[in-house]
């Protein structure tokens, strides 16, 4: 299981290289913490039998909220339990309510008792680390940062973010989608879908009434943007000097090939996101009903961990046909949506993946010897620095020389698979040849701090 966080690495990376010292430092520290957590691999749970698509009577949620009080020890001090009174702390109470509303969607609409289908307790920690710019599911519990106070506010404020992260837990216990490339983008897509459905159901919004934004409540007024992502209009969520421009495509013609962000999982998820939006608005009414049921059937059905976009499109069409009939409006809406985003054509099979490369996140010197990146996080921001060893203080230059010449980084990369929405560091150079991506959690503390201060330091 890969660790899932809501801020994409390209967002945090852009913020970390911004000219705002405070938020830049916080973003760099967030990336470093995320990388240090990414190596933990949890055993996959057994695939459950598909729950009946009816409102099945199940027991209520079992929620426990902890407070890390700015530290990094999990889970922290218990501050609220199931049935207990509100604490008066907005973060703790928002987490408690968000866990409950997410449980309600899965139990009352989809007949699934918690993330594993067997009543798994829902645990969350708030006030994690100092000014932590992220929220994530670590395979056992939810973790929420408070944000830096300038770019991001507290991460419990966004209900769809809570629903997004908990949906990673459902995926872990069902499809187990590999967190890289197209399967990883589908992993992110599924979480975006059920995240917005939690919010839309709570607000009793139809597909036409909903804003289809992910993380709108996280961005503070100084940011030029509306949210982390827009399912209705991928690529338009933000355009900010610190965060950069939203890189999500809405069509396969603009599919991004990149080694960052585990192959662009937070970027290319815009394509299936747009497809779901088209399905929901074409069918009309509450999106958690017919569209959500179709996607639920796929997630809990015969889907492989390495599923690609075209296969996923076929599975959703089959699910719509099985549930509503071959000639139904629902099946027609699904088929047309995947055609509109270029995943399928009028004929059989999926569209080929174009070869457009992602633009470099920053302009680096042409003779740069090293390229250091930090990707991941729920916002999907990328932070990049190109440099030569001669630009660094001698102790740091020696440390980098040891890393690029030794076996440590490739070994760590092999041992620690990525986690959804967690941070990942990349280091590449031409001589000696190296191009490696390492989960933050796998890095020794000294190496993590080396990468953090190098990204933070102006070139």
Catalytic residue among 164, 266, 330, 440: 266
Cα–Cα distance between 64 and 86 in angstroms, integer? Answer: 12
The partner residues of 126 in beta bridges, in order of sequence, read 67
Dihedral (Cα; 286, 291, 297, 302), 10-degree rounding:
-160
- Please say if 266 is a catalytic residue: yes
Which residues, other chains included, contact 222 with Cβ-Cβ below 8 Å and sequence gap of 6+?
150, 151
Q: What's the chain's Rg over C-alpha atoms?
A: 21
Cα–Cα distance between 404 and 299 in angstroms, integer? Answer: 41
The partner residues of 376 in beta bridges, in order of sequence, read 423
Cβ density class 375-405: b for 16+ within 10 Å, e for less: bbbbbbbbbbbbbeeebbeeeeeebbeebbe
The strand pair at 142-144 and 122-126 is best described as parallel
Cα–Cα distance between 418 and 261 in angstroms, integer? Answer: 10
Catalytic residue among 40, 165, 217, 452: 165
Report the interhelical angle of 261-268 vs 181-203 (nearest 10°): 40
Cβ neighbour number for residue 220 with a 10 Å cutoff: 14
Is the distance from CB of 33 to CB of 255 less than 8 angstroms?
no
Render 166-198 in DSSP notation, one character per residue: HHHHHHHHTT---SSHHHHHHHHHHHHHHHHHH
Cα–Cα distance between 8 and 188 in angstroms, integer? Answer: 10
Catalytic residues: 165, 266
């Amino acid at each position: 299981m890969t660790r899932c966080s809501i801020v994409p690495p390209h967002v945090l990376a852009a913020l970390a290289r911004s000219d705002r010292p405070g938020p830049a430092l916080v973003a760099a520290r967030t990336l470093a913490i995320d990388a240090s957590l990414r190596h933990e691999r949890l055993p996959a749970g057994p695939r459950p039998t598909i729950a009946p698509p009816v409102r099945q009577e199940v027991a209520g949620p079992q929620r426990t909220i902890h407070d890390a009080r700015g530290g990094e020890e999990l889970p922290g001090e218990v501050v609220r339990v199931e049935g207990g009174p509100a604490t008066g702390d907005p973060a703790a109470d928002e987490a408690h309510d968000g866990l409950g509303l997410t449980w309600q969607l899965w139990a009352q609409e989809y007949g699934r008792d918690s993330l594993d289908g067997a009543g798994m307790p829902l645990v969350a920690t708030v006030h994690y680390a100092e000014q932590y710019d992220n929220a994530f599911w670590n395979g056992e519990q939810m973790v929420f940062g408070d944000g830096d106070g300038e770019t991001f506010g507290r991460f419990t404020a966004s209900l769809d973010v809570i629903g997004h992260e908990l949906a990673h837990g459902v995926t872990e216990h069902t499809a187990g989608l590999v967190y890289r490339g197209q399967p990883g983008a589908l992993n992110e897509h599924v979480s975006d879908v059920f995240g917005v459905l939690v919010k839309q159901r709570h607000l009793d919004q139809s597909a036409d009434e909903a804003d289809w934004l992910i993380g709108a409540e996280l961005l503070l007024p100084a940011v030029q943007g509306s949210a982390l992502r827009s399912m209705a209009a991928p690529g338009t969520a933000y355009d900010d000097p610190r965060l950069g421009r939203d890189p999500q495509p809405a069509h396969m013609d603009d599919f991004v090939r990149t080694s960052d962000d585990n192959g662009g999982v937070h970027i290319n998820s815009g394509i299936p996101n747009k497809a779901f939006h088209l399905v929901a608005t074409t069918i009309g009414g509450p999106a958690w009903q017919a569209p959500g049921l179709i996607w639920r059937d796929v997630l809990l059905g015969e889907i492989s961990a390495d599923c690609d976009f075209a296969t996923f499109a076929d599975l959703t069409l089959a699910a719509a046909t099985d549930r509503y009939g071959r000639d139904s409006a629902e099946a027609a809406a699904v088929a047309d949506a995947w055609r509109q985003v270029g995943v399928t054509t009028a004929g059989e099979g999926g569209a080929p993946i174009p070869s457009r490369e992602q633009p470099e996140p920053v302009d680096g010197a042409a003779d740069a010897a090293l390229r250091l990146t930090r990707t991941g996080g729920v916002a999907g921001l990328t932070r990049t620095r190109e440099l030569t060893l001669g630009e660094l203080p001698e102790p740091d230059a020696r440390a980098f020389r040891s890393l690029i010449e030794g076996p440590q980084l490739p070994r760590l990369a092999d041992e620690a698979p990525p986690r959804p929405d967690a941070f990942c560091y990349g280091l590449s150079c031409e001589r000696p040849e190296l191009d490696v991506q390492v989960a933050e959690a796998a890095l020794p503390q000294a190496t993590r701090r080396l990468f953090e201060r190098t990204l933070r330091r102006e070139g």
